[in-house]
Amino acid sequence: MPTSKSCELSSIPPKKRSSISERNSKKRKVEMDENVDKNDVEMSKQEFSTMTSFIFNAITLKNEGNMTKYNELFRLIGDGVCKNTFGLKKTHLWVLAFSRATQMLDCSYYIDSILNMLVKHFVLRLDKDGTIPDNLEFIHGRVHYALKNVLPVVPSGEEELIKIIFQNFPYKKDSLVVHVTYLKNVLQMLEYLPTLQTQVLELLFERLTDLDTEVQGKMEEIESFEESSSQYDISFHSETSSTVSSLRSKGRSYVSISSHSSITEDHSDDDISSSSSPCIVVLDVRQLIEKLDCMLKLLLDYLKWFFDNSTNEQQEELFDTLMTIFEKIVLLTFKSRYTQFLIFWYVSLKKSYVQPFLAQLLHKLLADKEPPIIREVASQYVASYIGRAAYLSTDDVRLCVRALLKWAEKYLDCYENFRDVTDGIPHWWPDIMRLQRVIKSKFAPLQVCTGEIVKMFIRITEALQFMNCKEVLGDRIYRDSKKEFLDMNEYFPFDPFRLKTSRSYISSIYQDWKGIPGDYDVE
């Protein structure tokens, strides 16, 4: 038989009522707790007031030349931090107390140390067992958070930060993983500090060209190093820890440690300076190529991210910045192999960038006031660019060649009494006529070029049937060893790009050499 509700309710024991004395006891306990809290607050206020007064007094006396109280304050804080005797509440009170005295501090003195401490965390230091720190992402995130919030309130902070970034930049001999980690963080910093973009890019181009110029040697050897180098899976926005793991998984011994962290607490200054023999650092070409490759990839990632997420005005400003950097740094770098491809790629993003870039090169080439070495390098860039940039239109190439021929014709008018010897050439072909005039002039420009270039030019003219160089010029085609000519360096800034990690950006816009139909060797 089911139990009725009345039976169920009756089975529940009645709730015991608290007595008056118990209620009074609880009330007194609550009042005591409130009094304790009030006492704690009052004591905290008194302690805070004491701390603030002590700090103000110490700084005031220090400014007057009395360091006693200041040193006492320094020891007090130092002991509390090092010996961990400060609790959370006391630490909080000290921070609040110091915040009241910020107007008395020399901010320009401390900002340098603060920024240096933060940026040093961008230089990768592995644990003693050689492993990646577990909190690497957290540390880098906190550094970025601090920089993002500190820089806007410090007027001189940006200028100091650029100096510190330069000072902490990895050395050439530092490992690949150290270079990549540092560069990733510096580029990520530009996301929230865009006003530093120009200065940071100038610094990065300088560092890249420094590495770039170290890649010297025979072309066959360099190409062999390029082919044997590794391809790494890295990107601008990937997690640093995963990037480090990817780099180290290749198994190369030189990607594991940084010279920044090689001097630990176990080595004293005496130990470091004990050896009187000079330190000679031999840089492996393959290592340099891989460092350059990965750094180019990260910088290309950043440029793409910025272009995709910026306004048209910001894109134009970056283009102007890159043109200035090209003129100040890249164009002046002797036989750079890779860095200029950053400009090569960015110009491809908009049709409107091509002619300003060509105009800048032509201006350097044709301006009489420019030094001869600059004009020579500019000519090499013009020739290599119009020969390799797949995104150039026929009109772009024609305008460039026309500008060169127009200048050459004016030069001939000034310095040579010209007589046309090319009867039968159609006069509606003015540009070809100009070219013929230049080639056939007494200045003999082909004699200044290297043999391979001359042979290729002859093949093209014969394939297109607009000039028979052998018949017209005869022995004047090749250089006369008895005559002295301007020594033109054989340099093509946009030679084939073989770097594996960053090649994906260049391959689609690069014009590989294609043979001439019916091509044959020229004796």
pLDDT attached to residue 205 = 97
Q: Is the pLDDT of residue 428 over 80?
A: no
Residue 285, token pair as written in the block: 């070409």
Q: Is the pLDDT of residue 279 over 50?
A: no
Q: Give tens-digit pLDDT for 111-158.
A: 888 899 999 999 988 777 767 777 888 999 999 999 998 888 777 788
pLDDT top residue among 454 and 384: 384
Q: Give the 3-state secondary structure percentages of the chain, helix then strand then coil, rounded to 5.
A: 65, 0, 35
Q: Which residue, 102, 139, 135, is CA-closest to 120?
A: 139
pLDDT top residue among 229 and 322: 322
For the packed helices 354-366 and 372-388, what is the interaxial angle rounded to 10 degrees? 150
Span of 100-114, 257-271, 280-294, 479-493 with lowest mean pLDDT? 257-271
Span of 47-56, 355-364, 372-381, 448-457 with lowest mean pLDDT? 448-457
pLDDT attached to residue 454 = 75
What is the pLDDT of the chain when averaged over all its residues?
77
3-state secondary structure of 63: helix
Neighbours of 180 (CB within 10 A): 26
Q: Give tens-digit pLDDT for 217-247.
A: 656 677 777 777 888 888 888 777 667 766 7
Calculate what percentage of the chain has a pLDDT beyond 70: 68
Angstrom distance (rounded) from CA 185 to CA 176: 15
Span of 37-41, 147-151, 290-294, 449-453 with lowest mean pLDDT? 37-41
With a CB cutoff of 8 Å and minimum separation 6, the contacts of 328 are 202
Neighbours of 460 (CB within 10 A): 14
Mean pLDDT across 442-451:
71
For the packed helices 240-248 and 176-192, what is the interaxial angle rounded to 10 degrees? 160
CA dihedral 396, 400, 401, 406 (to 10 degrees): 140
Q: Is the pLDDT of residue 390 over 90?
A: yes
Distance (Å) of CA 27 to CA 15, 16, 105, 194: 21, 19, 49, 60
Angstrom distance (rounded) from CA 140 to CA 484: 60
pLDDT attached to residue 416 = 58
User: What is the CA angle 460-466-467, rounded to 5?
Assistant: 80
pLDDT attached to residue 134 = 79
pLDDT attached to residue 476 = 55
Q: Which residue, 383, 303, 314, is CA-closest to 348?
A: 303
Q: Give tens-digit pLDDT for 246-266.
A: 676 664 444 444 444 433 333
Distance (Å) of CA 469 to CA 473, 475, 482, 490, 523: 6, 10, 21, 22, 13
Mean pLDDT across 46-52:
87
pLDDT attached to residue 22 = 60
pLDDT attached to residue 522 = 43
Q: Give tens-digit pLDDT for 401-424.
A: 899 888 888 877 776 554 343 344
Span of 86-100, 173-187, 492-506 with lowest mean pLDDT? 86-100
Q: Which residue, 231, 133, 230, 146, is CA-closest to 193?
A: 146
Residue 240, token pair as written in the block: 């640093």
Residue 126, token pair as written in the block: 């592995």
With a CB cutoff of 8 Å and minimum separation 6, the contacts of 431 are 398, 401, 402, 405
Angstrom distance (rounded) from CA 26 to CA 20: 10
pLDDT attached to residue 169 = 96
Distance (Å) of CA 462 to CA 384, 456, 468: 22, 10, 6
Q: Is the pLDDT of residue 500 over 60?
A: yes
Angstrom distance (rounded) from CA 196 to CA 161: 9
pLDDT attached to residue 47 = 85
3-state secondary structure of 510: strand
In single-letter form, the type of residue at position 362 comes to L
Q: Which residue, 42, 64, 69, 66, is CA-closest to 54?
A: 69
3-state secondary structure of 15: coil
Q: What length is written for the chain? A: 523
Q: Is the pLDDT of residue 485 over 50?
A: no
User: What is the CA angle 421-424-427, rounded to 5?
Assistant: 95
Q: Is residue 85 within 8 Å of 102, Cβ to Cβ?
A: no
Q: Is the pLDDT of residue 32 over 50?
A: no
